[in-house]
Chain A
């Protein structure tokens, strides 16, 4: 999780990984989730954070979280077996 915590995220959604030098751009939802994950929020906390920031239906939220975590695994930014705690 150290790599996730070390990510530098700008207000515009530009992400820099100081470990690899890789850069990414993320949308507002992913930016919000990354912020929550860096703060160590669990799934309920992330859902609450998204509800607070966006107008969205409840069924979208778990899928958004899972999609982002899948991407983070793919880019090696979290360990392969990482799951968001409940």
Chain B
């Protein structure tokens, strides 16, 4: 039995478009009593803050837009208070800051398992086409910074197309009018640039995977969404095994030497061809399926980030399902007031050593 591990996790915004944090935390605590979790939240009303059965302590951290110095200072304070050993960031927009801070954190004894800045840039939506040069099948795409660029887009990418924001959001457009409307919606929500991608019909499949940073695969779980929300998010899904998808995942890892967790979003077309739509550089919100199916990838990341020997990863059980549920958590005003004023809720009496 190894020493207890204290893991700080971000992404507690468990709304109908949930961040991955709660899924990561549930995985870390799945069948284990040697993990203590510190939640890192951006807002006092993030639902995960009030999951006191899952999260021992919660602290507000500054938004990525505030820059790296406030984040460094805040993490230093939280480390003093809680003594966390590992951080697992789970949101796209915060990753550049954590990647930049990783060497400093390592020097202080805090482990991470994150991609390099180059890897992070390689898979960003605006540069996804570069993965095609590495042997991965990606649909044709263009990066737009002006709506007028849409008027001639059909010359290089025929309709229907998918209009995407730089971090989140995607809309299928069958006509120029629909594309223009989608363009402004993406800009309004997420800013520039806007990415236009060839629409590919087929079955949407996802892979939650962890790379070892040397081209190898620590583990991966494949999933097909069985219920999709109006935002295109999986509300239910089932673990599957597609040998072609396994090969694609292995190719991605060897081509990029990816380090840490990621999610591949893939379309399998009617002819059995694969198309990588997106690579998300962090755990997906559905990652608890990996623990439920027997291959606990978040815990594996925590172990590797802490520099520990990896516990044996068992193969996952194909056919394991997840069905999400919306629950009303009951809390009192005390936790909310402490989050709103002091920016923290500490339930575990400080450093657990």
Instruction: Take A21-B224, A21-B226 as given contacts and tell me if A16 and B242 are in contact as well, using a CB distance cutoff of 8 Å.
Output: no
- Nearest residue in A to B242 (C-beta to C-beta)? A19
- B153 to A: closest C-beta gap in Å: 32
Contact with B along A1-36 (1 / 0, CB 8 A): 000000010000000101111000000000000000
Within the assembled complex, what's the spacing in Å between the Cα atoms of A19 and B239? Answer: 9
- Contact (Cβ within 8 A) A19 B319: no
In the complex the two chains form, is A19's CB within 8 Å of B241's CB? yes
Give, as a whole number of angstroms, the nearest-CB distance from B5 to chain A: 33
Q: How many residues of B contact A (CB 8 A)?
A: 12
- Given the complex, which residues of B lie within 8 Å of A18, measured CB to CB? 240-241, 318-319
Total A-B residue pairs with C-beta atoms closer than 8 Å?
A: 20
B240 near A20 (CB under 8 angstroms)? yes
B window 234-249: CB within 8 A of A: 237-242
Cα-based distance from A18 to B316 in the complex (angstroms): 12
- Is the contact region of chain A dominated by helix, strand, or loop, or is it mixed? loop
Please indicate the chain A residues that have their CB under 8 angstroms from the CB of B241 in the complex.
Answer: 18-19
* Complex CA–CA separation, A19 to B268 (angstroms): 11
- Chain A residues whose C-beta falls within 8 Å of the C-beta of B319 in the assembled complex: 8, 16, 18
> Distance (Å) between the CB of A32 and the closest chain B CB?
22
A14 to chain B, nearest CB (A): 11
- Name the residue on A nearest B222 (C-beta): A21
Which residues of chain A are near B242, meaning CB under 8 Å? 19-20
B175 in the interface (beta carbon within 8 A)? no
- Does B203 sit at the interface, judged by CB under 8 A? yes
**Which residues of B sit under 8 angstroms from A8, Cβ to Cβ?**
319
Kindly report which residue of chain B lies nearest to residue A17, judged by CB atoms.
B240
Query: Which A positions have Cβ atoms within 8 angstroms of B?
Result: 8, 16, 18-21
**Shortest 10 CB-CB contacts between residues of A and residues of B:** A21-B224, A21-B240, A18-B318, A21-B238, A18-B241, A19-B242, A16-B319, A18-B240, A18-B319, A19-B240
8 A-B residue pairs with CB within 8 Å:
A16-B319, A18-B241, A18-B319, A21-B223, A21-B224, A21-B237, A21-B238, A21-B240
- Known contacts A20-B224, A20-B240; 18 further A-B pairs (Cβ under 8 A): A8-B319, A16-B319, A18-B240, A18-B241, A18-B318, A18-B319, A19-B240, A19-B241, A19-B242, A20-B203, A20-B242, A21-B223, A21-B224, A21-B226, A21-B237, A21-B238, A21-B239, A21-B240
